[in-house]
């Protein structure tokens, strides 16, 4: 049986991904801080196990390695847990950058390091890192978030090349605006002109499957967002005015 570990699984993209994997017959390790939600989701899915923890905790990598080794295999790691605080550098300062990097980048690196030996032993296997369109282009008051997601995207690109000979595929998913519990995107959804720019967690889950078991290197959600980094590269003088 194929085994997946999904972080940030208690809601939004992580929950949708766990549900999608369950429908395809995967056993899923569900990771997030909210134990009650994880337990309810595990009961709903049936072939799933809740592993409640804070991914930034010092012992998180060791606890996840222990949980995965209890399954005797790990075929897919989805690094989805993350968050954002909208603030300028003047407002958020170094502390905002530090705390955002700790969750969105550092924890991913630490967890991946702990689980990589098991992923190699279970090869062919895959890692999917959920970055953001903001990991290729930056906007005002998203500096800390973009820094963490740029770092994740660059590290993922390198890891993709390094792990290919070991049978571990590394894919990257870059969502744009996604309507979730924490980010309902109400302002964008109210207007017909901007509604197209908002997608659903289920669409990101589809992209995660494509970038993991499907073997794709990179997926944007919604797909037209892939044009943003191209525009940024080709029109560097114009892009700041657009952004």
Which active-site residues does the annotation give?
10, 131, 145, 149
Residues near 193 by beta carbon (within 8 Å), at least 6 away in sequence: none
Question: Distance between alpha carbon 91 and the CA centroid of its chain, in Å?
Answer: 26
Q: Is the separation of the CB atoms in 175 and 204 below 8 Å?
A: yes
Q: In 3-state terms, what secondary structure has residue 106?
A: helix
Q: Which element (helix H / strand E) includes 49?
A: strand 48-52
The single residue listed with the structure tokens 């993209």 is 13
Structure tokens at 81: 């847990």
Provide the 8-state DSSP code for 222: S
Axis-axis angle for helices 107-121, 143-163 (nearest 10): 20
């Amino acid at each position: 049986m194929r085994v997946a570990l999904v972080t940030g699984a208690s809601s939004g993209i992580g929950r949708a991904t766990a549900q999608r994997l369950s429908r395809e017959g995967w056993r899923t390790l569900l990771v997030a801080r909210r134990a009650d939600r994880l337990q309810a989701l595990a009961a709903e899915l049936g072939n799933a196990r809740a592993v409640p923890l804070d991914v930034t905790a010092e012992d998180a990598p060791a606890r996840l390695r222990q949980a995965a080794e209890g399954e005797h295999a790990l075929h897919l790691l989805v690094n989805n847990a993350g968050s954002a605080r909208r603030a300028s550098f003047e407002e958020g300062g170094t502390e905002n950058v530090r705390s955002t990097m700790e969750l969105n980048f550092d924890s991913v690196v630490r967890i991946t390091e702990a689980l990589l030996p098991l992923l190699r032993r279970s090869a062919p296997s895959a890692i999917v890192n959920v970055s953001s369109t903001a990991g290729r282009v930056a906007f005002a008051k998203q500096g800390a978030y973009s820094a963490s997601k740029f770092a994740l995207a660059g590290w993922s690109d390198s890891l993709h090349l390094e792990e290919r000979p070991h049978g571990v595929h590394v894919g990257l998913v870059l969502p744009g605006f996604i309507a979730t519990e924490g980010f309902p995107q109400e302002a964008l959804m109210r207007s017909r002109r901007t509604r197209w720019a908002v997608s659903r967690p289920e669409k990101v889950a589809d992209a995660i499957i494509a970038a993991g078991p499907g073997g794709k290197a990179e997926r944007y959600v919604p797909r037209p967002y892939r044009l943003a980094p191209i525009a940024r590269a080709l029109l560097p003088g114009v892009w700041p005015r657009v952004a």
